[in-house]
Structure 1
């Protein structure tokens, strides 16, 4: 998919189609790098302890807030990295992502299962990179 500053290439020739992600996103503009976001509210309290869906919604709400602070939206996201303590949480992560990102604009993505995050109640962390068009 093309828009003013990003080109999505879902599956280059000879590469199997991604299941829920785009293999290549290219663009020009200003890079926005977000630190990994977890399911903490504004007071630093865990949201949805033991509930992957609730945590995923909070994580993506935090990503949205961070993007907005940089003048970006989910339409500008070019790469997501998911860190989950159990790969079984990935459907909840993708469902929360899909509330914010249209299927034709899926970013390049990587999912990694990790032994633990910095607090034992946290089930996932999402890191994002976005690309803003020049002048925005």
Structure 2
């Protein structure tokens, strides 16, 4: 089995190791990013929904940056939302601040019943930048 090419954002490796998963894996020109939530440095949820969503995007952007990517490289997004009927308007208000300009990535939204104390999680697949050609 090939060694996984793991990407860790600065300052959060202990949190990922404690929870026994990788924040992102590089494979065949893509970056597969684990679901990111609006967790504070200690891993606890940010209580305010809008602030939690912004923090989830900030955490996502830190993982992307650690791999040399930005949200512009994202091709596929999956959003997980607890009680989407009451929360979707707030979340959709936050998206444009991070989404960038069209063309947008693909999007799948999933309503869930539990996210370990969080209301929102975002999982993405991004294209890795092509290495500089000699």
What is the TM-score of this pair, normalised by structure 2? Answer: 0.71
Matched, 1:90 2:63: no
Runs of 4+ in structure 1 deviating by more than 3 angstroms, as ranges, are none
1:65 alignment counterpart: 62
In structure 2, what is the equivalent of residue 22 of structure 1?
A: none
Q: Tell which has more relative contact order, 1 or 2 (C-alpha 8 A, sep 6+).
A: 1
Does 2:107 match 1:106? Answer: no
Aligned residues: 104
Q: Which runs of 5+ in 2 are unaligned?
A: 1-27
Q: Secondary structure at the match of 2:99?
A: coil
Give RMSD over aligned pairs.
1.6
Give ranges in structure 1 of 5+ residues lacking alignment.
1-28
Query: Aligned partners of 1:61 and 1:125: how far apart in 2?
Result: 12
TM-score for the superposition, normalised by structure 1: 0.70
Match of 2:29 in 1: 30
User: Whose helix fraction is larger, Structure 1's or Structure 2's?
Assistant: 2
Q: Counterpart in 2 of 1:135? A: 131
